[in-house]
Structure 1
Amino acid sequence: MDEVLIGEVLRPHGLNGELKIYPLTTDLERFLKLQAVILRHGEISQHFKIIKARVQTDLVFLTIEEIDSIDQAENYRGWEVRIDRSEVPPLKEGWYYFELEGMQVYEGDKLLGTLSQVLETGANDVYLIKGSKGEICIPALKSVVQHVDVSGRRMDVILPPGLLED
């Protein structure tokens, strides 16, 4: 299963089973276009058809098939809201974080490690790489990141001088 996390169920909203969702995406309008979602809690996952979606300020409210009471909705408090990766629209440029995380990062022929997390710093993103020598923080700059092969799960970088101590 290739799923992408897009939100978390906060709690029921109202008496008819509507779910109040905290979105983990900057594009809240994406919820209005969805036909279905996957609710996941640990190893348990359930697919649901969306009946109605609405956005209010910075929250999303979903009415989904098979959940029609506050008691049923309460069972999903804290569950992840996911979609199938195929439903994620392609970016005009760049990559989604989930596409980068898990990539092998190389400088030339030397494996530096695995990109474990993308950190948003404000100025530019920073890639956290975990390897045999611990963690390395690499700035996500065009001068550093030379090539990204999403399908091959590989990133090639040229580290700035002094970033690694020998």
Structure 2
Amino acid sequence: PSSAFAITNPGPLTISGVTVNDLQGNYPNSRSGNTAAAHNTDGFDISGSDILIQNWHFFLQDDCLAINGGTNITFADNYCEYGHGISIGSISSNAVVSDIEIIGNHVVSSAYSFRIKTDASTTNSIVKNVTYSVRQYCNQLYRFGVLITQSYPTNLGTPGNGVIIS
């Protein structure tokens, strides 16, 4: 699947203590030739408010968490292995992401620990009041520890200016 969970709720939600294990996606299968079978396998895609996700274990090939919009979201004490770590975005036009806490997570063998990604063409969007705290550890990262890019899907391309990040 492209996402294990997609959340677009209007109100309070707590999800705790689940494992998402897509390790088999790291290996080829009869339909993928010699490449890994899975890609774009986010753990959570979120566009909602008042959400707490805690004490999860993720083994996948893309974002452990992808917040595309919403407010008052906490992602705490989770374990993310493989993939692209924890992300805000990619942010589309007219999106608001605010009051986000990402605390105490373990990110292992991933491209990034944390990133904010917006498309260069995105307009009229805001990302603000984001707290990212590594109280535990992040290791075996193979691209960047923290990346803020406004030229997604390229990391270091020509940035846009349609997203205020504060």
Please say whether Structure 1 and Structure 2 have the same fold, judged by a TM-score greater than 0.5.
Answer: no
Which protein has the bigger helix share? 1
Which protein has the bigger strand share? 2
TM-score range, shorter chain: under 0.3
Which structure: larger Rg? 1
Structure 1 length-normalised TM? 0.21
